[in-house]
Amino acid sequence: MYQNKGLVITLLLLLTVLLFPQKQLNAQGLLYRKISVQAHHLPLENVLDRIGQKCGFSFSYNSSIVPRDSLINLSVSNQTIKDILDMLFAGRFEYKEAAGFIILRYAPLRLSLITDKVESNRGVYRISGFVIDDRTGEKIAKASVYEKKLLRSALTEADGSFEMKINTRNHSIALTVSKELYRDTTVLILSSVDVNSDGSTRDDPDHTSGEGASVAERTAIGRLLVSYKQKIQELNVPGFIAESPVQASITPGLSSHGMLSGQVINKFSINIFGGYTAGVEGVEAGGLFNINKKYAKGVQAAGIFNLVGMSVVGVQAAGIYNGVLDSVKGVQAGGIANFVIKDFAGVQAGGMVNFVRGEFSGVQAGGLLNFDLGTVKGIQAAGLMNISGNHTAGLQVAGLMNATGRSMSGMQVSGTLNIAGGDMRGAQIGVVNFARHQKGFQFGILNVADTSSGASVGLINIVRKNGLHSVSVSSNEMFTWNLLIKTGTPKFYTIIHGARNMGGWGFGKQYQLSNRLFLSPELVGLYLYQGSWDYTNTITRFNMNLTCKVHKLLSVFAGPSVNVLYSDQDKKVDGYSLITERIKMSRSSKNDKLYHWIGWSAGISVTPFTK
C-alpha cells in the first residue's frame, strides 16, 4: 500500500511538471504582464524605457551587447512583455526577473542536461551525466551544474561529463545547468525518474545580478586569488545568489559551499587563509583575506586585506588594506590603506593612505595622506597631506599641505601650505595660503588670492585683481628715512615698517573720501634697537594719514600719529642715542617705563601692481 502511495505521489509530481511548465508557473511575473506598445523609428533603448515605465520596473543589461541605438518600429496590442522582447531580440536573449528589474542576458544557444546514473542511499544522491549542445549534439565543457537550494555544484569535464554527490532528505532534486551564451536548463530528479524542462528558470528575485564577472573578480587581486573554476562559475551563473547561515573555507574554492561559494551570502563566514563569497550579513573573519562579490553588512576583519565588490555597512578592518568598489557607511580601518570607489559616511582610518572617489562625510584620519575626489563634509587629518577634489565643508589639518580643488567653507590648518581652488569661506592658517576667491580669513607669512573680500593677516598679502600693493618712503619725528611695504586690500592691508635700528609690523584700512583722497588709519608695532639686546624698547604707533593720488601709480601722504613707548633702557650705549633724549615725550605717572607723545609722518607711495 505504501509503495502504491509513493508511486502515486511521484506520478502526481511528474504530471505537475509536465502539465504546468515554467512559463505557467511564472505567469504572474513581470514577463507575463500584457501591455500595448507603439514605437515608430525609436532607438531600442527608448522602447525598453517605455515598457519599463508602463509596468514600473527597469531593464538591466550589458550595453556593449544590447544594440541600444538600433531604430525600432513596433506596434503591438495586449501582448506579454516576454513576447514583445522575443520580437525585439529574435529569441537571442534570456530574461530573468529581479526585484524591480528584468535582466536581459545574451543566450542565443540552448543545451540539455542528460543524467546517465542516479543512485540514492539514505538521503545521499550520487548523480552523473553529461551536457550537450541542443543544435549540434556537441559535448559542452566547463558548464556549471548546480543545485540552487543545497548549494552543490560541479563543472563539466572536457568530454561534457559531470558527477555530483548531494546529501538531502528531499524526494526531488532540481539540477540547473548554465553556460555563457546558453539558456539555463533545469532537470528535476524524482527519486530515480529524470524529467527535462526546456526554457529558462527564474532565480530568487531578491538575489539576482547582471551578467559577466563581478567587479571584485576583475581587480588584480581578484584575478590572482579567485580560482579558475570559480571564474567559470561566475560566467555561467551570474544571476544566481543564495543565502546560508554559515560558511567555512581554507582558500577560495576550498569551501563548505564548494565552487558556489561566490554565489552565497552568509550570516557567519570564517576563512582560514582566505575566502571568496557573494557577501556577508553578520560576521566574516579571514586569517589573510576576504573577497566579497557583492556586499558586507556587519563586521569584516582580515589579517591582510578585505575586498568588497559593492557596498559595506558596518565595520571593516584589515592589517594592510581595505578596498570597497562601491560605498561605505560605518568604520573602515586599514593598517596601510583604505580605498573606496564611491561615497563614504563614517570614520576612515588608514596607517598611511585613505582614498575616496565620491562624497565623504565624517572623520578621515591618514598617517600620510587623505585623498578625496568628491566633496568632503567633516574632518580630514593627515600627517602630510589632505586633498579634496571638489568642495570641503569642515576641517582639514595636515602636517604639510591641505588642498581643495574648488570651494572651501570651514578651516584649513597646515604646517606649510593651504590651497582653495575656488571660493574660500572660512579660515586658512599656514605658512603659505592660497585661495582663488578669498571671502574669509587667512593667517600666514604669505597669503595669496585672485580676489579678496575678507581679511588676510601675514607678512605679505598678495591679491591679484582687487588688491592694494605699495612701497612707500617716508619721514617721521623719529627717523628721516623709513621704508614701508603695504599688501592686502583697501579694506584690510598689512604693513612691514623698516628704518635704521627699527622695524615692525602692522595693519590698516583705507577709506575713500573722493576719487583722489583717502583716509588711512594704521596701527603698527615697532621694536627699537639702542645698542643692546638686553633691553626692551617697543613702540606702538597709530597713524592717521591723508593720502592723495597724484597719478595711477603715485601717491603722497601725511598725517599725525599717536605713540606709546615701553623702554626699560636707562643707560646710553656708545654710538647710539636714546629716543627719550631725542624726542619730547611724556612719562606715564603710573609706570616710569611708559612714555607717550604725538608725532607725524609724510611720504611718497608707489603702487606698481595696481589693477
Report the CATH number that the domain containing residue 528 is assigned in CATH.
Answer: 2.40.128
Q: Say if residue 62's pLDDT is above 70.
A: yes
Taking a C-beta distance cutoff of 8 angstroms, is the pair 305, 321 a contact? yes
What is the distance between the alpha carbons of residues 144 and 176, in angstroms, rounded to a whole number? Answer: 8
> Are 250 and 366 in a shared domain?
yes
- Supply the CATH number for residue 97's domain: 3.55.50.30
Rounded to an integer, the average pLDDT of 474-481 is 93
> Based on the number of CB atoms within 10 Å of its own CB, is 169 exposed (0-12), middle (13-18) or buried (19 or more)?
exposed
> Are 267 and 287 in a shared domain?
yes
Taking a C-beta distance cutoff of 8 angstroms, is the pair 458, 494 a contact? yes
Closest CA to 357 of 374, 335, 378, 369: 374
Q: Say if residue 71's pLDDT is above 60.
A: yes
Q: Give 95-105 pLDDT, tens digit per residue.
A: 877 767 888 87
> Are 399 and 528 in a shared domain?
no
Look at residue 37 and tell me if it is in a domain. Answer: yes
Q: Say if residue 589's pLDDT is above 60.
A: yes
Task: With cut-offs at 50, 70 and 90, classify the pLDDT of residue 261.
Answer: low
φ, ψ (nearest 5 deg) of residue 585: -145, 165
Cell numbers at 167, concatenated = 546529501
Closest CA to 101 of 153, 158, 61, 44: 61
Q: Domain boundary at 132, 165, 190, which?
A: 190
Q: Say if residue 152's pLDDT is above 80.
A: no
Q: Say if residue 417's pLDDT is above 60.
A: yes
φ, ψ (nearest 5 deg) of residue 9: -60, -40
Give residue 584's domain range.
468-606
Higher pLDDT: 41 or 506? It is 506
Instruction: Return the pLDDT at 52.
Output: 85
Q: What is the largest CA-CA distance in the chain?
A: 133
> Are 363 and 473 in a shared domain?
no
Q: Give 377-389 pLDDT, tens digit per residue.
A: 999 999 999 999 8
Q: Say if residue 440's pLDDT is above 70.
A: yes
Instruction: Return the pLDDT at 569.
Output: 92
φ, ψ (nearest 5 deg) of residue 353: -135, 140
Taking a C-beta distance cutoff of 8 angstroms, is the pair 273, 303 a contact? no
Higher pLDDT: 449 or 238? It is 449
Residue 583 has what DSSP assignment? S
Instruction: Return the pLDDT at 211.
Output: 42
* Percent of residues in the chain assigned helix, strand, coil, to nearest 5: 15, 55, 30
Mean pLDDT of the chain: 82
Look at residue 436 and tell me if it is in a domain. Answer: no
> Are 365 and 340 in a shared domain?
yes
Q: What percent of the chain has pLDDT over 70?
A: 83
Q: Say if residue 70's pLDDT is above 50.
A: yes
> Are 135 and 163 in a shared domain?
yes
Rounded to an integer, the average pLDDT of 176-185 is 78
Instruction: Return the pLDDT at 484.
Output: 95
Q: Domain boundary at 379, 394, 417, which?
A: 417
Instruction: Return the pLDDT at 22.
Output: 38
Q: Say if residue 46's pLDDT is above 70.
A: yes
Higher pLDDT: 491 or 106? It is 491
Instruction: Return the pLDDT at 404.
Output: 94
> Are 138 and 41 in a shared domain?
no
Higher pLDDT: 164 or 345? It is 345
What is the distance between the alpha carbons of residues 526 and 564, in angstroms, rounded to a whole number? Answer: 10
Instruction: Return the pLDDT at 216.
Output: 56
Give residue 189's identity as a one-letter amino acid code: I
Task: With cut-offs at 50, 70 and 90, classify the pLDDT of residue 2.
Answer: very low
Q: Give 7-31 pLDDT, tens digit per residue.
A: 444 444 443 333 333 333 333 478 8
Q: Say if residue 348's pLDDT is above 80.
A: yes
Look at residue 411 and tell me if it is in a domain. Answer: yes
Look at residue 282 and tell me if it is in a domain. Answer: yes
Look at residue 454 and tell me if it is in a domain. Answer: no
Rounded to an integer, the average pLDDT of 169-191 is 72
Task: With cut-offs at 50, 70 and 90, classify the pLDDT of residue 209.
Answer: very low
Instruction: Return the pLDDT at 3.
Output: 47
> Are 262 and 342 in a shared domain?
yes
Q: Say if residue 580's pLDDT is above 50.
A: yes
Q: Which long-range contacts (CB under 8 A, 24 or more apart) does 270-278 make?
A: 272/248, 274/225, 274/249, 274/302, 275/247, 275/249, 275/251, 276/225, 276/226, 276/227, 276/230, 276/249, 276/252, 277/247, 278/207, 278/241, 278/242
Instruction: Return the pLDDT at 575.
Output: 86
Closest CA to 201 of 438, 31, 415: 31
Closest CA to 166 of 143, 187, 142, 184: 187
pTM score, two decimals?
A: 0.60
Contacts of 261 (CB under 8 A, 6+ apart): 230, 247, 249, 252, 253, 255, 275, 276, 277
Q: Give 505-560 pLDDT, tens digit per residue.
A: 999 999 999 989 999 999 999 999 999 999 999 999 999 999 999 988 899 999 99
Give residue 378's identity as a one-letter amino acid code: G
> Are 393 and 252 in a shared domain?
yes
Q: Say if residue 227's pLDDT is above 60.
A: no
Instruction: Return the pLDDT at 171.
Output: 60
Instruction: Return the pLDDT at 518.
Output: 92
Domains of the chain: total? 4
Taking a C-beta distance cutoff of 8 angstroms, is the pair 14, 193 a contact? yes
> Are 124 and 66 in a shared domain?
no
- Looking at the DSSP bridge assignments, the partners of residue 418 are 402, 433
> Are 115 and 60 in a shared domain?
no
Look at residue 230 and tell me if it is in a domain. Answer: no
> Are 122 and 42 in a shared domain?
no
Q: Say if residue 374's pLDDT is above 50.
A: yes
